[in-house]
Amino acid sequence: MGSSKMFKARALAPLALVGALLLAGCSSEPEPVPTPSLSSALAAPSADAVVTFDAQATCETFFQLDLLRSTLAVGVKDLGKKERRALLVEYQQLVADLAGTAGDAANSGELPQQVLTNAEKMQMILDKLGKKDGIDSLTKVQKKRLTVQASRIESQCATAGYALPQENIDARELIP
């Protein structure tokens, strides 16, 4: 008989716990609703107030790429195979970054869709090169196509108000 009372107590214990939790949740005092503060209103601007800098990021990435292209135009004959490969990897990464930021700028309307198209064309040219190729693996035709696409992007950046920095102009003057 003692075991049946113990069984009933064990079976009713979870019900008693649930009841206690329900009663605790039903307090007569309403919970205070937090009022928005000035700092929280300033921390979360409306969608209209958000300013994007996609065009600036795109053009800055292009300017980095342009500096690399100027360095390459000066010559890579004295560089070893690993250094030439590293330059190609850097070139490919900058073009991939350019395509990413150009997509954002085109989607936001800060730059025309043509910037993204040109960046993607540059990326397709570079994607054709193998993993063991170096920067010197680019053919004359590929270099010419890259130059055409880069010129178009530079023009679009200038039209958007992002002129080529003096550092880039100086680097271009060193090209033989």
In a domain, 91, yes or no: yes
Residue 166 forms part of a structural domain: yes
Q: Is residue 144 part of a domain?
A: yes
Examine residue 125 and state whether it is found in any structural domain, yes or no: yes
- Which residue range is the domain that position 139 belongs to? 51-173
Residue 23 lies in a domain: no
**CATH for 156:** 1.20.120
Number of independent structural domains in the chain: 1
**Residue 64 falls inside a structural domain:** yes
> For the chain, how far is it from start to end, CA to CA, in angstroms?
105
Which amino acid is located at 133 in the chain? D
Is residue 104 a part of any domain in this protein?
yes
Q: Which residues contact 67 (CB under 8 A, 6 or more apart)?
A: 167, 168, 171
Whether 18 is covered by a domain: the verdict is no
What string of pLDDT tens digits covers the 176 residues of the chain?
554 444 444 444 444 444 544 445 555 555 554 444 444 444 444 444 344 568 899 999 999 999 999 888 877 778 888 988 888 899 999 999 999 999 999 999 999 999 999 999 999 999 888 877 888 888 899 999 999 999 999 999 999 999 999 999 998 888 87
